């Protein structure tokens, strides 16, 4: 019960906003409950209600964070105790909310961008028969995501983790009448479940070692309680969960298919928030990762491999949303690379910047789809710049942010990561990371030039129209954030890094090697090269890109099909799984289990068939049986004597 609030942690004098921190997750929860029950009667007001609630949560969060920053850095932790949850012997878990720099960053992103996406969805989902339920699910998602990042122990985090997985399933399969949408939802849930199970094992291991799941206890005694091996095991298990949730190789296969859901869902869940939960987890649990050096290497390598793999796949997609999906996977890989190199602040900054521009890009794609009568195929677009100028402008801003054009946020994000790769003398990581950055510029440039420039290549593109204000206002706000977010951090001494220092420690300083201006030039060069090539091939009209595509068909198909990993899983995992299920259902259950049950019945029946022949109806038979008994009794008595 939300009653007596106990506070612990270092904030000596919590302000009113901090004490009202519980409202931040509870408001969306209330919205979900209301919309779930009377959403249909509210009609369009359901959407406004949901948006206002998330917006209010953002305001409260913002004030609380402002108050938090006012506190000196050493004391920037505030824990709000809500209620006791589990108490079994010595094992206690409470539902506590923790406000520190890391969770502050996350809740601002979740509520802020969440509110904008809610606003956009009012326009996008207009006319849908299940309008109210959509917003109930969206609010529920925001609630779970907030619990995930605000929890003060791993169990509340896991609660939120599973909850966002559930909402993701519900929202991807929102238009479940189409089988492929339902299948995509199933695929997402099952794939992330693989990671979640490993994570649960990791939690169990933590309980076994520490006896509790509280952050303070774990981080306080991690050094003394864990050996390197156990720390590695825990870290890798938790990372497995992150791999699933953040769609890294090899558990990435669900994200491209998840584009079957409505575009606001893709923007909120699969770009800005849920998929970043994995990054949050790694950054939050970094003391354990650092105790085991090798886990960080695994994280970095996974991130790097994923980044390049997804970048190539993005090049081969024709569906605008799938390009963005693979792009998300690739960018998340970058964040994990940063985390693996111990540049946690850089990873978080990248997360924030990515949230802005990726949400922007997705919403822009949604606007394009809305305006061109649900076209998603890039081959059928073109020349949309004239017909939907606001969408085009904001989209281009987002694209430039992704490509790393200064002074937009993306540039600084990438730059920091690459710099840190170099300073740690991880040359391979630097080179490969730079290549990944080049790929990202390439594929987003392709999208921009194919969709918005040139001549329209289909009737739908010709008759495209702009989106209503309720949709382009969020686009504009996000574009603003994407453009000017760079002021939050410029380098290791940036504001975000300073803010996060209380949580993640300092960012590794640049030492020796190439100097900063050189990085600047190399990064800029990559961006220019990528965008320039894209313009040359797709925008300038000098290259027949359709013929090029035909010539490079095998390569294009490889990229388009995600290097055939889905097909590989289908043969190696899915087919045996289905065979096992069929065996269990038909051979084992029907044959064996039912066979036993029916067999017992059959045996009883046969025994009865035999047994009933005793009832011959002949009195004399009964008399004979009678007499047999008499003689037997006499024999028995006789022998006894």
CA gap 103, 113 in Å, rounded: 15
**635 lies in the binding site for another protein (CB under 8 A):** yes
CA atoms within 13 A on the CB side of 250: 7
Nearer to another protein, 541 or 602 (CB): 602
Nearer to another protein, 548 or 581 (CB): 581
CA atoms within 13 A on the CB side of 100: 25
Q: Minimal distance in Å, beta carbon 584 to another protein?
A: 10
Nearer to another protein, 92 or 186 (CB): 186
**542 lies in the binding site for another protein (CB under 8 A):** no
What's the count of helices (H) and strands (E) in the chain, helices before strands?
Answer: 30, 3
| Number of residues counted as binding another protein (CB under 8 A) | 32
Q: Minimal distance in Å, beta carbon 639 to another protein?
A: 10
SS3 93: strand
Question: Which positions from 577 to 616 touch another protein by CB under 8 A, shown as an x/- string?
Answer: -x--xx--xx---x---x---x--xx--xx--x--xx-xx
Nearer to another protein, 455 or 610 (CB): 610
Q: Please report the DSSP string for 458-514 in residue order.
A: SHHHHT--PPPHHHHHHHHHHHHHHHHGGGG-SSTTSHHHHHHHHHH-PPPPP-SSS
**573 lies in the binding site for another protein (CB under 8 A):** no
CA gap 77, 284 in Å, rounded: 14
Nearer to another protein, 515 or 639 (CB): 639
CA gap 10, 202 in Å, rounded: 29
CA gap 380, 451 in Å, rounded: 8
Q: 271, 300, 287, 485: which is closest to 360 by C-alpha?
A: 271
Q: Which of 90, 511, 547, 641 binds another protein (CB under 8 A)?
A: 641
Class of residue 600 by CB neighbours under 10 A (exposed 0-12, middle 13-18, buried 19+): exposed
Interactions with another protein, residue window 15-74 (CB under 8 A): none
Residues 297, 239 contacting (CB under 8 angstroms) = no
451: preceding bond cis by omega (within 30 degrees) = no
Nearer to another protein, 487 or 628 (CB): 628
Q: Minimal distance in Å, beta carbon 251 to another protein?
A: 23
Phi, psi (5° rounding) for residue 512? 45, -160
Residues 91, 211 contacting (CB under 8 angstroms) = yes
Interactions with another protein, residue window 613-632 (CB under 8 A): 613, 615-621, 623-624, 627-628, 630-631
Nearer to another protein, 542 or 620 (CB): 620
Nearer to another protein, 75 or 582 (CB): 582
Nearer to another protein, 48 or 588 (CB): 588
Q: Please report the DSSP string for 540-552 in residue order.
A: SSSS-HHHHHHHT
Q: Minimal distance in Å, beta carbon 623 to another protein?
A: 6
Kindly state the DSSP code that residue 562 receives in the 8-state scheme.
G
Q: Minimal distance in Å, beta carbon 641 to another protein?
A: 6
Q: Minimal distance in Å, beta carbon 177 to another protein?
A: 17
* Residues in contact with 588: Cβ distance below 8 Å, sequence separation at least 6, in sequence order: none
Cα angle 491, 495, 501 (rounded to 5 degrees) comes to 90
Residues 530, 438 contacting (CB under 8 angstroms) = yes
Q: Minimal distance in Å, beta carbon 252 to another protein?
A: 25
Taking the CB of residue 485, how many other CB atoms lie within 10 A of it? Answer: 22
Q: Minimal distance in Å, beta carbon 598 to another protein?
A: 7
Q: Minimal distance in Å, beta carbon 619 to another protein?
A: 5
* Residues in contact with 150: Cβ distance below 8 Å, sequence separation at least 6, in sequence order: 21, 24, 25, 97, 98, 99, 103, 107, 156
Nearer to another protein, 91 or 627 (CB): 627
Nearer to another protein, 41 or 618 (CB): 618
Three state DSSP letters for 136-189: HHHHHHHHHHHHHHHECEHHHHHHHHHHHHHHHHHHHCCCCCCHHHHHHHHHHH
Nearer to another protein, 40 or 606 (CB): 606
Kindly state the DSSP code that residue 77 receives in the 8-state scheme.
E
Cα angle 274, 277, 283 (rounded to 5 degrees) comes to 160
Q: Minimal distance in Å, beta carbon 566 to another protein?
A: 17
The torsion defined by the Cα of 283, 286, 290 and 293, in degrees rounded to 10, comes to -50
For the stretch 489-492, contacts whose Cβ atoms lie closer than 8 Å and that sit 24 or more positions apart, written own/partner, are: 489/345, 489/349, 489/412, 489/416, 490/412, 491/412, 491/416, 491/419, 491/516, 492/345, 492/416
Nearer to another protein, 184 or 255 (CB): 184
Question: Which positions from 440 to 469 touch another protein by CB under 8 A, shown as an x/- string?
Answer: ------------------------------
CA gap 185, 165 in Å, rounded: 10
Q: Minimal distance in Å, beta carbon 540 to another protein?
A: 48
Q: Minimal distance in Å, beta carbon 576 to another protein?
A: 15
Nearer to another protein, 227 or 616 (CB): 616
CA gap 527, 223 in Å, rounded: 42
Interactions with another protein, residue window 301-360 (CB under 8 A): none
Q: Minimal distance in Å, beta carbon 631 to another protein?
A: 5
Q: Minimal distance in Å, beta carbon 615 to another protein?
A: 5
Nearer to another protein, 465 or 578 (CB): 578
Q: Minimal distance in Å, beta carbon 188 to another protein?
A: 19
- Binding residues for another protein, rule: CB under 8 A, are 578, 581-582, 585-586, 590, 594, 598, 601-602, 605-606, 609, 612-613, 615-621, 623-624, 627-628, 630-631, 634-635, 638, 641
């Amino acid at each position: 019960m939300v009653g007596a609030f106990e506070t612990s942690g270092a904030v000596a004098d919590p302000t009113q906003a901090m004490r009202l921190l519980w409202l931040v997750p509870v408001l969306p929860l209330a919205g979900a409950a209301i919309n779930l029950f009377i959403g249909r009667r509210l009609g369009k007001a359901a959407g406004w209600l949901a948006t206002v609630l998330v917006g209010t949560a953002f305001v409260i969060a913002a004030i609380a964070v402002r108050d938090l920053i006012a506190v000196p850095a050493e004391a920037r932790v505030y824990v709000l105790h809500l209620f006791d949850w589990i108490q079994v012997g010595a094992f206690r878990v409470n539902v506590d909310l923790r406000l520190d720099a890391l969770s502050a960053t996350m809740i601002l992103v979740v509520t802020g961008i969440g509110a904008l996406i809610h606003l956009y969805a009012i326009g996008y989902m207009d006319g849908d028969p299940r309008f109210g339920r959509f917003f109930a699910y969206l609010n529920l998602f925001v609630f779970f995501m907030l619990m995930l990042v605000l929890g003060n122990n791993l169990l509340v985090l896991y609660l939120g983790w599973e909850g966002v997985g559930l909402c993701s399933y519900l929202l991807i399969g929102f238009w479940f009448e189409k089988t492929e949408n339902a299948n995509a939802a199933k695929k997402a849930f099952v794939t992330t479940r693989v990671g979640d199970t490993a994570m649960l094992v990791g939690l169990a291991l933590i309980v076994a070692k520490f006896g509790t799941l509280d952050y303070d206890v774990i981080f306080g005694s991690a050094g003394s309680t864990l050996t390197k091996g156990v720390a590695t095991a825990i870290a890798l298990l938790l990372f497995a969960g992150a791999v699933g949730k953040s769609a890294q190789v090899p558990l990435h296969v669900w994200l491209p298919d998840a584009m079957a859901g409505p575009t606001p869902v893709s923007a909120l869940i699969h770009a800005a928030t849920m998929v970043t939960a994995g990054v949050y987890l790694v950054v939050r649990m970094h003391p354990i990762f650092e105790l085991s050096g090798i886990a960080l290497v695994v994280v970095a390598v996974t991130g790097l491999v994923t980044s390049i793999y997804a970048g190539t796949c993005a090049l081969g997609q024709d569906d605008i949303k799938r390009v963005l999906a693979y792009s998300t996977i690739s960018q998340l890989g970058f964040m994990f690379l940063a985390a693996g190199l111990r540049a946690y602040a850089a990873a978080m900054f990248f997360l924030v910047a990515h949230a802005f521009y990726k949400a922007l890009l997705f919403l822009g794609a949604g606007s394009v789809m809305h305006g061109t009568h649900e076209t998603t195929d890039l081959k059928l677009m073109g020349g949309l710049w004239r017909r939907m100028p606001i969408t085009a402008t904001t989209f281009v801003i987002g694209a430039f942010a992704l490509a790393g054009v200064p002074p937009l946020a993306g540039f600084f994000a990438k730059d920091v990561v690459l710099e840190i790769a170099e300073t740690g003398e991880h040359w391979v990581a630097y080179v490969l990371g730079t290549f990944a950055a080049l790929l990202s510029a390439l594929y987003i440039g392709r999208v921009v030039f194919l969709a918005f420039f040139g001549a329209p290549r289909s009737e739908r593109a010709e008759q495209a129209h702009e989106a209503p204000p309720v949709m382009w206002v969020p686009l504009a706000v996000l574009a603003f954030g994407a453009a000017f977010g760079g002021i939050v951090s410029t380098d290791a001494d940036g504001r975000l890094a300073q803010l996060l220092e209380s949580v993640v420690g300092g960012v590794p300083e640049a030492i020796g090697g190439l100097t900063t201006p050189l990085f600047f030039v190399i990064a800029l060069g990559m961006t220019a090269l990528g965008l320039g090539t894209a313009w040359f091939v797709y925008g300038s009209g000098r290259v027949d890109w359709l013929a090029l595509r035909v010539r490079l068909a095998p390569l294009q198909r490889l990229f388009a099909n995600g290097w055939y990993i889905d097909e590989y899983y289908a043969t190696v995992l899915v087919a045996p799984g289905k065979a096992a299920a069929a065996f269990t259902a038909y051979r084992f259950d029907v044959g064996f289990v039912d066979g036993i049950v029916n067999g017992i019945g059959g045996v009883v029946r046969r025994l009865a068939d035999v047994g009933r022949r005793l009832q011959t109806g002949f009195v004399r038979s009964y008399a004979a049986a009678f007499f047999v008994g008499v003689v037997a009794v006499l024999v028995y008595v006789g022998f006894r004597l």
